[in-house]
Homo-oligomer: A and B are copies of this chain.
Amino acid sequence: MKIHEYQARELFRQYGIPVPEDVLCHTIEEVEQAARKLNRMVVVKAQVHAGGRGKAGGVKLARTIDDAIAAGKKILGMDIKGYTVEKVLVADAVEIDKEFYVGLINDRNTKSVTLMASSEGGVEIEEVAKNSPEKIIKLSIDPLVGLLDFQARDIAMQLFGNMQHVRQAVPILKKLYKLYVETDSSLAEINPLVLTPDGQVYAIDGKMNFDDNALFRQPQILALREPDEDEKKEIAANEKGLSYIKLDGDIGCMVNGAGLAMATIDMIKLYGGSPANFLDIGGSSNPQKVIDAMTILLGDSNVKAVMINIFGGITRCDDVARGLISALNVIKTDIPIVVRLSGTNAEEGLTLLKQAGLPTVGSMSEAARQAIELSKAYVQK
């Protein structure tokens, strides 16, 4: 789960990380009020879940209240990579002497949280990693020990080289780690972390992602969720125990297991078809899930054929068959469906489907081929 910059800044503040004053605005009137309240140079920043908003013109510096209003007018309502800007953050624009990057991320290789820091702040860390990897300091944090003072100090020393700044940066690093762990974060970046000409250290922009698996114990974070339309569908599916991602093809797929679902999509493409979605019904044997999944699938008007690919392990094929039959009793459709069942209780499932008059095939590739053919036939109707 992602949150907006303004939400990350608010979390930073809660944990005692210094952030310049700001006001979230939804209208030009609010932008004007905010600029009057802050009463100095401000920066107006689009709040959207898309990278590269700076290049897209979504961030503007405003020296006067009129500038701020003009910036607000330009940014509010603009489109950034398909996202409409519905709110902007009007923030105190502190003067910047130097920009740094600090970030925390779950590291698959070390199986721990890794702290990354760089004196190249204000740009995407991936670019720094590509162009000057030697400028990234990395530290793998022992989860049982936490980020130790001396470790934070060593890193801050490498960035700032001045004890007066190091003394401000050490608690920022420690608090960011605390925030990260306590909120079950999977990414927490301060970029840039800035040093002002008068020697103050501030977090300017923040980016935080959270572990979806841990949201059950993070009500405060869950409350920050602001999904867009596509995400809302995915979340609704998730709440039903399904993993759903809309794609732009015409063959609806219902598969159990993420790997098999990906392989199914790959195969449809390999055979010249075009998948309408990724839909993983997961690993449990609940017929209701199949009903829910079919409802979502057939709710997509692009779908011209459905390929069901189940290899039963924890999922029982007879449950899937029962769910499918129930679903098709409720949702009347003329869209052709191809079903492939293998594994746990496949025999029982296939028998049920045959009794219900549903077409079944013997293998995944056969299912893909038939689904592609049927989708073309359906289009020709």
| Residues of chain A at the chain B interface (Cβ within 8 Å) | 144-145
Contacts and interface: CB of A to CB of B under 8 A. Distances in A.
Nearest to A143: B144
Instruction: Say whether chain A's binding surface is mostly helix, strand, loop, or mixed.
Output: loop
Give the oligomeric copy count.
2
Nearest to A142: B144
A145 B145 CA distance: 9
Contacts of A145: 144
Which 2 A-B pairs give the minimum distances between C-beta atoms? A144-B144, A144-B145
2 contacts: A144-B144, A144-B145
A216 to B, nearest CB: 16
A61 to B, nearest CB: 42
A12 to B, nearest CB: 23
A270 B296 CA distance: 91
Nearest to A145: B144
A144 B144 CA distance: 5
A259 to B, nearest CB: 32
Nearest to A144: B144
Nearest to A146: B144
A145 B144 CA distance: 6
Contacts of A144: 144-145
A144 B145 CA distance: 6
A145 B142 CA distance: 12
A147 to B, nearest CB: 14
